[in-house]
Amino acid sequence: FFPSKSSVHPDTDKIIPVLFRPPAFLPICLPLVVVTSLQLQAKQTFFGQFVFHMYTTGFTLFNGNGTAKAEEYSLQQRQVFYGLGAVSYAACIGALPLVFMNRYTLKSSFTQLAVRKLLPAPILGLMSGFTVAVVRSPEFENGIEVMDRNGKVVGMSQKAGEKAIKETAWSRAVLFGTTSFLPALLMHFVERAKFAKSPRALTSVRLFVITSVLTGMLPVSLSMFPQCGEIKRADLEPEIQSATEETELFYNRGI
């Protein structure tokens, strides 16, 4: 991203807050991902998950498609309301396995492995995609602008909004699901091989692995779907199909 482009929303031309601009995503998410990977007590896990999802949801809010319109009340008010509910739910789900384990005093080695090693990655990935879908749901309800090759707006499409949300949710789920799974898997082998013999060395290796995976997965997730999404005219609403002869139309997917 060029600094001048990443600071301005492509749909609204509004300045994006510094903390929620694309260049800030990696340095802010990194410590949050590290915290979510610790899997300490249920309360600490809930708080870590809440802060993590709060930031990523704010990033989604400021970097989604900005062409949807709401008639009843402010679109952003709806998204903030939806986002708070999604963040609270995601944090609860993230901490639930630890609550369940502590509540029923399940301390077997298999339970410890499942709760602390196996479940966090799919839960974090699914909840990351879930929060994207919820906070951007008004884009599906109200539709987003679709344009022809010359940038002329043809109409508002719910189907394009649904496609944009699904693509962004999948990319976010892959990003954080993989970033949670791969370091846990690699650290399992590091611990078994006793590569790092002291707790400090083990922590350093974990930080290095998480940083490497997140840094590598970020461009992968962003490139899964193009920023300027394409959708066939035949897949759009009848009123849009009748408004243009273009076979393919375009929309801003968001990040």
Q: Indicate if the pLDDT at residue 221 is higher than 60.
A: yes
Check if the beta carbon of residue 204 is closer than 8 Å to that of residue 196.
Answer: yes
Q: Indicate if the pLDDT at residue 26 is higher than 90.
A: yes
Q: How far is CA 50 from CA 7, 54, 129, in A?
A: 26, 6, 15
Check if the beta carbon of residue 146 is closer than 8 Å to that of residue 250.
Answer: yes
C-alpha 200/C-alpha 209 separation (Å) is 14
C-alpha 223/C-alpha 225 separation (Å) is 5
Per residue in 155-202, pLDDT (tens digit) is: 999 999 999 999 999 999 999 999 999 998 888 888 787 777 787 888
Per residue in 73-88, pLDDT (tens digit) is: 577 788 889 999 999 9
C-alpha 239/C-alpha 255 separation (Å) is 28
The token pair that represents 240 in the structure block:
């849009």
User: Mean pLDDT, the chain, as a whole number?
Assistant: 88
